[in-house]
Amino acid sequence: MEFMLIYIKCNLIKKMNSVIILAAGQSARFGHKIPKQFSILHNKKSVLDFSVDIFINHCKVNEIIIVVPKLWKEKIQKKYPDCKVIYGGENRSESSYLGLRNCSKKCKFVLIHDAARPLISNQLIDKCLFALLDNDGVIPCLNINDALISIDKKEINYLDRKNIKLVQTPQAFRYDKILSAYNNQTNALDDFSVLINNKKKIKTLIINGCEKNFKITTENDMIIAKKIIDEL
């Protein structure tokens, strides 16, 4: 019986799975002329290359849409001819929405991933897809170990870290659910917030993220990522 359930779920995962990689940001905090996602990370491979390659080589991914700035579209399309490369929007939400609108009509599940998270693992991708079989939206998160405070003018308050999580990507969705949510709202901090703010009956799940799957924001983050890759 258990084997049969695993067999059924494995076959469900084989349905049309699309990935949207968001690489249209300008990386203002990175401090380089070249946006961080196009900067070389290791062995002539850029941050974006690492993010794209993990999905290209994943057996359950059928389609990849890369969202980039206009100046980079031709170069990235030439490098990844089997991926769909499109222009990004004015902000992250617009870029996600444009990516969703360019997914195949056969798409069942969609993963939306930050290009600046190059150390994503196959295991995390599998967990996201598997969890979608019973949920409309799935989000990987990490617990917070440090103390947290909020500062409001001169008032300082400590926050209960048990109720706060660090959010990662890929954020995974049933395609019809997230597209419908975006049709009603295109301005949000991230994709999961669009889904849960849509005020429709949905089923969501928080899963454990991965510490190595951090977002590169500064030059120091690049150094840490390079060191991790060297040790693999």
| 111-125 tens-digit pLDDT | 999 999 999 999 999
Cα(191)–Cα(94) distance, rounded to whole angstroms? 10
3-state class (DSSP) for residue 111: strand
Range of the domain at 80: 2-231
pLDDT of residue 12: 53
Cα(183)–Cα(3) distance, rounded to whole angstroms? 39
Q: What is the CATH number of the domain that holds 98?
A: 3.90.550.10
User: Of 133, 80, 138, 142, nearest to 111 (Cα)?
Assistant: 138
pLDDT of residue 26: 73
Helix, strand, coil percent values for the chain (each to nearest 5): 40, 25, 40
The DSSP line for 136-204 is SEEEEEEE--S-EEEEETTEEEEE-GGG-EEE-S-EEEEHHHHHHHHHH----SSHHHHHHTT-S---E
Q: How many CB atoms lie within 10 A of CB 97?
A: 24
Report which DSSP code applies to 72. Answer: G
pLDDT of residue 10: 59
Residues of the chain with pLDDT under 50: 1, 4, 8
Cα(198)–Cα(212) distance, rounded to whole angstroms? 31
| 76-132 tens-digit pLDDT | 999 999 999 999 999 999 999 999 999 999 999 999 999 999 999 999 999 999 999
pLDDT of residue 32: 64
Peptide linkage before 170 cis (omega within 30 of 0) = yes
Cα(80)–Cα(65) distance, rounded to whole angstroms? 10
pLDDT of residue 153: 80
- 172 CB-side CA count, 13 A: 27
Phi and psi at 46, nearest 5°, equal -80, 170
Say how many domains are in the chain: 1
